[in-house]
Structure 1
Amino acid sequence: MSEIKETCLHPFHTELHARMEEFAGYDMPIVYTTIQAEHLAVRNDVGMFDVSHMGEIEVRGKDALKFVDYIFTNEILSKPFGKVVYGFMLYENGTIVDDLLVYLVNQENVFLVVNASNIAKDYAWIVEQTEGFDVTIVNLSEEYSEVAVQGPNAETKIKEVFGLDLSELSFFTFGRFLINGDEYLISRTGYTGEDGFEIYGSNLDIPFIWEKLHLAGVTPCGLGSRDTLRFEAALPLYGHEISDQISPISAGLKIFVRVEEKSDFIGKGSLLKEIELGSDKKVVGIELNEKAIPRQGYPVFMGDEQVGVITTGYLSISLDKPIAMALIDKKASKKDTQIFVGIRKKMVPGFVRDKKFLKKNYKTN
């Protein structure tokens, strides 16, 4: 069994008496005080997350842009450098290797941020696709750490603490900035449905960012609230709403797949076929009539027939009602269809809803 790793911020978490659990090979903070308090801090003010467990992979070389365009579902060749693009890497059958952020650095350098649980798999898969391309793939995951500063007051707090004005950094763009003499890559991105920033730096430098923000009153938030926040905003999580068993089409994420604009990418043929024939599954929202919590893996029924399974479910902190996302048969996916969720041997009634339960609060101008 491999040894559990620690991020460079681990001493801060233990000092704050966070509840720690293993996640993706790292000892990570799940909660510091309560998930509800941390969740609401991000929705109403500002919170920060240690997300140093995420993977960073760099594509270098003459064909860097062309190569990433080939392995990635979204369109990047027309985008300016300094742009961040979300999308997927797919297997030939159209199912998902991983979802990721692509940072367009320059003609010969593209920076990929992948899920922590998929780093080794993603790196190996990417390397396998390089034949015929003049590129070098470098796994930098052990060299980078990351703090996500999220919430409506994130921009104000960063300016207050570091004297750094990020007002000109638009949604899904990034830049390199000096703080205390050290360089950081900062993007206006996040995984909460709120405005915010993700700050990448060396393992030596990131503790300075965390400590200064904490001293200024920014709420430390664990992976528990990160999950409740992303769920309310209908942001998918690998292994839940997306996986190697589902395509982006069935997951309702076709907007990030440019089958019309792109001449080719891995998995395109399978997706075109699925679009033509129609998906037999769909990820939907579900709202229950009773205050029972629909957990991942719970079965979903229409009448007596099981038609799907819960992918994520909570008693929503912001909405104060039990909601879920579920992968269900298309025949049961129409909005307002009555369904039942099997919870502890009881059939709890509910309805299919739009999965976008909460309006995202991004700064898009």
Structure 2
Amino acid sequence: MADQSSQLLRTPLYELAHEQKARFTAFSGWSMPVQFSGLKLEHDAVRSEAGMFDISHMGKFSFVGDRLIDAWQALVPSDLSRLQPGQAMYTVLLNPQGGIIDDIIFYYQGTAGTQQKALVIVNAGTTDKDKTWILSHLQNSSVEMFDLSQSQALIALQGPKAAQILQAMTTADLSSLTAFAHRIVTINGSSAFIARTGYTGEDGFEIMLDPDAAQQLWRSLQQAGVTSCGLGARDTLRLEAAMSLYGQEIDETISPLEAGLGWVVHLKDKGDFIGRSVLEQQKAEGVKRRLVGLEMSGRYIARHGYRVIFDGAAVGEVTSGTLAPTVGKAIALAYVTTSLSKPGQALEVEIRGKNYPATVVKKPFYRASH
């Protein structure tokens, strides 16, 4: 039997993680570090100081063309015309049924002559699917797409000390970079695209750069005392911040209104887009299920796929769950019948044939106070 690991893609930072004795896992066709020094230690470092993640496996698409924003408006429910150069928007690609093909960040880079430029970051597991979908819908436009997914590295530097640490490596004034703002800067003498975005519930940056420059930056951050973090801590951090993970909280059968992403749907402000009629109907009639936060009583962990019970009957399903290091409680995200989705609602989760009490709580479970 062929060694599966040999067929996995490796990021430009794979060897550095290997040197650091990271534990690897197969994730969306890539060999990715799941843990370096220990999940709790990595999680706590991001909450209290700073941690860095290799996220080079994510899809990276560059777009150039006349009327680029207009061409993109049909693909997403968000009004991209609101964006000024250097601003970004979290949004979703929708299918005609209003289901989520992927959640993405659209970075508008402004114009060069008549040409508009944008960068779009997508999930690793959906990169090929997204590329095909986007290209099929842009084919009648003048917009060109460039796939940078394997030619560029991506590092997430996250935590309350992220700005202070990165500032020492660039002449750009990072304090002028507000949430979701982005620009091209020089870091350690190399050109880099940086954005004040992240997936941890903390302040921080996502930095895209050439492989050699990325390796240099990883080493510099290591020397500056930044903790290397794997996918394990990334998952517990995003779950405390109640951020959706594609394939768990969101997929092609779930609409943004059901997923608690109603804020990305701008029905009043824009014209037609794929899935609009379904979302209009859901808005008018109300959705039948909602994504909620659950807090377990005790330390029983509700895992993906576990049934949510009310009055002896199944009323939903857990999408993600963990024992949350910062919150200090067992938490979960789950879809439940809308009538049972209000905070304070008592429910149960079936764990290995037994039902354990859970309560619907407000999301997110954790909010940064720094």
Q: Distance in 2 between matches of 1:185 and 1:300?
A: 43
Normalised TM-score (structure 1): 0.96
Residue 117 (structure 1) aligns with: 125
Give the aligned CA root-mean-square deviation in angstroms. Answer: 1.4
The 8 Å contact of residues 325 and 355 in structure 1, kept in 2 or not, is answered as no
Residue type matched to 2:361 in 1? R
Aligned partner of 2:205 among 197, 201, 209 = 197
Shift of 1:354: 1.3
Report how far residue 161 of structure 1 moved: 4.3
For 1:9 and 1:85, locate their aligned partners in 2 and report how far apart those are by CA, in whole Å: 27
Q: Deviations over 1:230-259 (max 9, x none)?
A: 110111110111111100000011001111
Once the two structures are TM-superposed, the CA of residue 179 in structure 1 deviates from its matched residue by 2.2
Structure 2 residue 39 is the aligned partner of structure 1 residue 27: no
> What is aligned with 2:269?
261
Q: Which amino acid aligns with 2:103?
A: D
SS of corresponding position for 2:118: strand
**Unpaired runs of at least 5, structure 2:** none
- Which position in structure 2 is the counterpart of 1:10? 14
Give yes or no for the alignment of 1:53 onto 2:61.
no
Q: Distance in 1 between matches of 2:188 and 2:169?
A: 11
1:89 and 2:104 equivalent?
A: no
> How do 1:1-365 and structure 2 match up within 5 A?
3-107=7-111, 108-162=116-170, 164-360=172-368
Structure 1 residue 131: Cα displacement? 3.8
Q: 1:273 corresponds to which letter in structure 2?
A: Q
The 8 Å contact of residues 310 and 348 in structure 2, kept in 1 or not, is answered as yes
Distance 2:187 2:167 in 1: 11
The structural deviation recorded for 1:331 is 2.4
Q: For residues 210 and 77 of structure 2, what CA distance do their matches in structure 1 show?
A: 29
Q: Which moved more, 1:129-138 or 1:283-292?
A: 129-138
Residues 303-362 of structure 1 show CA distances to partners (whole Å, capped at 9, x for unaligned) of 111011101111111111111010111122122121110111211111111121111458
Contact 2:170 2:186 in 1 (8 A): no
Report the 3-state secondary structure (helix = DSSP H, G, I; strand = E; otherwise coil) of the residue aligned with 1:141.
coil
**Whole-Å separation in 1 of the counterparts to 2:16 and 2:369:** 29
Question: Structure 1 stretches of 5 or more lacking a match?
Answer: none
Q: Structure 2: which amino acid aligns with 1:301?
A: I
CA contact (8 A) 2:341 2:360 kept: yes
Please, what TM-score do these two structures have when normalized by structure 2?
Answer: 0.95
Task: Verify the 8 A CA contact 1:195 1:361 in the aligned structure 2.
Answer: no
Deviation at 1:73, TM superposition (A): 1.9
**1:332 and 1:248, CA in 2 relative to 1: closer, same or farther beyond 3 A?**
same
Q: Matches of 2:369 and 2:76 in 1, distance apart?
A: 27
Count of matched residue pairs: 362
One-letter amino acid of the structure 1 residue matched with residue 357 of structure 2: P
Provide, for residues 109-149 of structure 1, a one-character-per-residue CA deviation record: whole Å limited to 9, x for no partner: 11110001100000000011124322122221111111100
Output the CA distance in 1 between the equivalents of 2:205 and 2:369: 13
SS at match of 1:295: coil
Cα displacement (A) at 1:96? 0.3
